């Protein structure tokens, strides 16, 4: 239950090739398709390709598209320009002391800074649930101006839909926001998580001592549909709003998932985030709340066998279906698995046949029946997952009896295999770590490493761990400041070092939706516009992530030209070390990242930071014409690779350029740009139409 109390958002995925089965009434996914898909297409894809299907394109991020409507994976795969498609995954939800811990008190006083930064002219996008649009924390500090620029409730059926989308309701002015009052009830009733997260990132505090980080920023809020297609549509909607307003955008994601990919940054949602990060959006996400859970195993095989016990969460939890075991191997690896049933006398009484990644059987749905007891299980597997060529298997087990325990046996000739045991719910929505148990000599127990899910494993995101805030006692001693026991750890399975940074995430006070039907412990409330608005304390990396998102908003206010790499480097170079973090030198720590976020030092660096795409700078007249309005050329017959950046640091075009090979720039708006040439030097370009 700790996983729920800490309010981490965890995203789970249905079986990739789910089919109706003989005992489908026992399975959590035995329902009609969601009608939402995510696909990878080539440059030749066009909306006209869908004329024979009852589908609409929601958003397109690079070559990744979302699709909405009633169809099937088989029908979509018949389109020649579609290379990969899967059903969109299901989603379920992952300050005063915190301000001191992050050195925000000094920022507010403009201590050693040019200005007292507060996030002005920066947009913070929140993808979540449970928004209270009229909460005073979303007003300015004088409580006169609402700071929500726009909101999209993807659940609401009455509209008006956002331009380019066929679902949900958009509110883009104060009157429509206050008339709506809050987002609608989705799978999570009228929740409050989004209001709490938004209050941490940029709440004004509503007149109380619960001011967020970037308290003069504006918000874009999306109550996302219960699948990843809704999340990608939210990103596209937020990016379009930010571009129209001419403001920098930082997106916070206080949710996580374990079923949508191999957690190596190759999933479609990771690719989409990487694409937008190149285009100037900064993404910040929670690391996850599976620290301390013995739910992972890494095994290197040498013609040997792994044995472990599958720990089940208590069936007193009303939505529990069973456990889901995800397995990901190395490219070219083959492995098989078997389930073992063990009775109360520690005897193995049943062993299933081996299920191999390299035997084409499709989706398997069956059961073990012993006397009056039944253990249900189903398997989906691929010899080579199309996005990264890794073999994979997902094994889901339901065991409500108390007579038998369930063990797992895995064999491989060679290669490294990662396994995770997570809880599976009947509503397809969200899981937290179970355990792998060592019941016999030679068996293997689990650990809590490699516990970052999606999107925390994405290459471009700022992945945030959580620690407790420091408190200075009257005698001068400082207590707290330790890593939270629930904070997930790295690395990713492709051995990248994450998380990136840590922020306070234990018992954080922030705003709560006044419309919630959920239970919470009231901290205090404030009366505003004839209504009482509550505040409460919550814990989780869901709370530490928006704290860093707020700091990023301050950095973008101080230096709007910073790109994603610049922000990452500034957070790294400014991170605070102490007796709790220990020394972090050449490589980041797998619990702390580079250390604790330090807003004051980060802003001191940002004020003087020259964005990486501008250095070294050259005034050499190698581009012509300059100013340009139609075609751009390079003053040499030898072609060079060029990247064109906007004044805000967003990558707007890339390609080869030479004396006779030009680049079309008619689509660029008039203004100043930076052209990076062969990643060696930069030239300033002026576009005039």
Torsion, Cα 595 597 603 606, to 10 degrees, reads: 50
* Structure confidence at residue 304 as a pLDDT band (50, 70, 90): very high
Tens of pLDDT, residue by residue over 461-484, are: 999 999 998 876 667 677 789 999
For 123-150, write each residue's pLDDT tens digit. 999 999 999 999 999 999 999 999 999 9
| pLDDT of the residue at 91 | 54
Separation CA 325–CA 309 (nearest Å): 11
Residue 491: HSE in the Cβ half-sphere, 13 Å Cα cutoff: 11
How far is it, in rounded angstroms, from Cα 396 to Cα 423? 9
Q: Above 80 in pLDDT, residue 458?
A: yes
Task: Tell which wins on pLDDT, 659 or 233.
Answer: 233
Q: CATH number for 296-437: choose from 1.20.1070, 1.25.40, 2.60.120, 3.30.700.
A: 2.60.120
Residue 587 pLDDT greater than 80, yes or no: yes
**pLDDT of residue 555 exceeding 90:** yes
Q: What's the chain's average pLDDT?
A: 87
pTM: 0.84
Q: What is the pLDDT of residue 24?
A: 32
Closest by CA position to 604, among listed 61, 13, 58, 111: 111
Which of 184-188, 265-269, 356-360, 562-566 has the weakest average pLDDT? Answer: 184-188
Query: Please, what is the angle between helix 228-245 and helix 268-278, to 10°?
Result: 10
Alpha-carbon gap, residue 373 to 369, rounded angstroms? 6
Domain range summary for the chain, segments of one domain joined by +? 11-92, 93-289+457-608, 296-437, 615-687
Residue among 249, 221, 185, 235 at smallest CA distance from 511: 221
Residue 621 pLDDT > 90: no
* Lowest-confidence segment of 82-96, 482-496, 594-608, 622-636 by average pLDDT: 82-96
Buried b (16+ CB within 10 A) or exposed e, 507-535: ebbbbbbbbbeeebeeeebbebeeeebbb
For position 15, what pLDDT does the model report?
Answer: 26
Is it true that 93-289+457-608 and 296-437 share their CATH fold?
no
Asked whether 663 and 677 are in contact (CB, 8 A), the reply is no
Residue 72 has pLDDT above 90, yes or no: no
The Cβ of residue 172 has, within 10 Å, a number of other Cβ atoms equal to 14
Query: In the predicted model, is pLDDT for residue 669 greater than 50?
Result: yes
User: In CATH, which of 3.40.47.10, 3.40.1160.10, 3.90.1300.10, 3.40.50.200 is domain 93-289+457-608?
Assistant: 3.40.50.200
**Given this model, what pLDDT does residue 430 score?**
57
Tell me the fold of 11-92. Answer: Alpha-Beta Plaits (3.30.70)
Arithmetic mean of pLDDT, 541-564: 95
pLDDT class of 70 with cuts at 50, 70, 90: confident
- The tally of CA atoms less than 13 A away on the side-chain side of residue 497 is 14
CATH class of the 615-687 domain in this structure: mainly beta
Confidence of residue 596 (pLDDT cuts 50, 70, 90): very high
- How far is residue 612 CA from its own chain's centroid? 26
Mean pLDDT of 456-460: 95
Residues 6+ apart with CB under 8 A from 12: 89, 90, 92, 257, 258, 259, 324, 422, 424, 425, 428, 429, 430, 431
Q: What is the pLDDT of residues 318-342, one digit of tens each?
A: 788 999 999 999 999 999 999 999 9
CA atoms within 13 A on the CB side of 486: 27
What is the distance in angstroms between the CA of the first residue and the CA of the last residue of the chain?
A: 61
- CA–CA dist 391, 632 (Å, integer): 46
| 189 pLDDT more than 80 | no
d(CA 247, CA 249): 6
Q: Among 149-163, 344-358, 359-373, where is mean pLDDT lowest?
A: 359-373
HSE at residue 148, side-chain half, CA atoms within 13 A, is 29
Q: Could you tell me where the beta strands, DSSP code E, fall in 426-489?
A: 435-437, 462-467, 471-472, 478-479
pLDDT of residue 47 exceeding 90, the answer is no
Sign of the Cα torsion 258, 423, 593, 216 reads: positive
Residue 93 reports pLDDT greater than 50: no
């Amino acid at each position: 239950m700790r996983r729920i109390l800490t309010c981490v958002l965890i995203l789970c995925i249905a079986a990739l090739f789910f089919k109706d089965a003989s005992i489908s009434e026992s399975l959590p996914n035995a329902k009609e398709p969601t009608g939402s898909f995510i696909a990878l297409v080539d440059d030749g894809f066009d909306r006209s390709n869908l004329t024979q299907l009852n589908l609409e394109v929601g958003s397109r991020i690079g070559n990744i598209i979302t699709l909405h409507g009633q169809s099937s994976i088989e029908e979509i795969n018949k389109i020649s320009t579609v290379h990969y498609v899967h059903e969109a995954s299901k989603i379920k939800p992952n300050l005063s002391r915190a301000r001191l811990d992050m050195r925000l008190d000094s920022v507010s006083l403009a201590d050693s800074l040019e200005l007292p930064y507060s996030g002005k002219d920066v947009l913070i996008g929140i993808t979540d649930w449970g928004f209270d649009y009229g909460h005073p924390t979303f007003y300015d500090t004088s409580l006169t101006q609402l700071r929500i620029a726009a909101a999209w409730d993807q659940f609401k059926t009455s509209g008006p839909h956002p331009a380019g989308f066929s679902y949900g309701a958009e509110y883009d002015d104060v009157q429509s926001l206050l008339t709506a009052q809050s987002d609608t009830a989705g799978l999570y009733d009228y929740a409050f998580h989004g209001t709490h997260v938004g209050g941490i990132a940029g709440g004004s505090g509503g007149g109380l001592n619960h001011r967020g980080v970037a308290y003069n920023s504006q918000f874009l809020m999306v109550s996302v549909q219960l699948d990843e297609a809704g999340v990608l549509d939210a990103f596209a909607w937020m990016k379009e709003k930010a571009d129209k307003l001419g403001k920098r955008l930082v997106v916070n994601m206080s949710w996580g998932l374990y079923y949508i990919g191999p957690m190596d940054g190759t999933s479609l949602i990771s690719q989409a985030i990487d694409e937008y990060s190149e285009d100037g959006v900064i993404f910040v996400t929670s690391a996850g709340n599976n620290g301390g859970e013995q739910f992972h195993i890494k095994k290197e095989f040498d013609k040997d066998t792994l044995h472990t016990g599958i720990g089940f969460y208590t069936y007193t939890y009303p939505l529990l279906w069973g456990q889901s075991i995800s397995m990901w191997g190395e490219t070219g690896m083959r492995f098989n698995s078997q389930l073992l049933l063990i009775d109360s006398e520690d005897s193995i009484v049943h062993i299933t046949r081996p299920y191999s990644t390299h035997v084409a059987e499709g989706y398997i749905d069956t059961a073990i029946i012993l006397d009056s007891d039944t253990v249900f299980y189903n398997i989906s597997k691929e010899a080579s997952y199309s996005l990264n060529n890794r073999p994979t298997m997902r094994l889901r087990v339901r065991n409500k009896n108390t007579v038998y325990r369930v063990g797992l046996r895995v064999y491989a000739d060679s290669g490294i295999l990662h396994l995770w045991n997570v809880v599976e719910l009947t509503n397809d929505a969200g899981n937290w770590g179970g355990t792998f148990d060592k019941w016999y000599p030679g068996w293997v127990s689990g650990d809590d490493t490699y516990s970052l899910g999606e999107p925390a494993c994405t290459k471009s995101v700022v992945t945030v761990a959580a620690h407790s805030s420091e408190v200075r006692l009257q005698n001068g001693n400082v207590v707290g400041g330790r890593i939270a026991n629930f904070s997930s750890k790295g690395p990713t399975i492709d051995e990248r070092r994450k998380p990136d940074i840590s922020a306070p995430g234990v018992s954080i006070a922030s705003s709560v939706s006044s419309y919630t039907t959920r239970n919470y412990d009231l901290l205090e409330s404030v009366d505003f516009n004839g209504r009482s608005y509550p505040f409460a304390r919550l814990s989780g990396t869901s709370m530490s992530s928006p704290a860093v998102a707020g700091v990023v908003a301050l950095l973008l206010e101080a230096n709007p030209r910073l790109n994603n790499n610049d922000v990452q480097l500034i957070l790294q170079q400014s991170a605070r070390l102490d007796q709790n973090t220990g020394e972090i030198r050449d490589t980041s720590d797998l619990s702390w990242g580079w250390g604790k976020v330090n807003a004051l030092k980060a802003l001191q660096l940002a004020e003087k930071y020259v964005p990486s795409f501008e250095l070294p700078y050259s005034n050499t007249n190698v581009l012509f014409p300059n100013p340009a309005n139609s075609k751009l050329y390079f003053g040499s017959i030898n072609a060079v690779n060029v990247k064109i950046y906007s004044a805000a640091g967003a990558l707007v075009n890339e390609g080869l350029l030479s004396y006779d090979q030009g680049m079309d720039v008619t689509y660029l708006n008039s203004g100043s740009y930076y052209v990076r040439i062969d990643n060696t030097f930069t030239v300033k370009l002026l576009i005039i139409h």
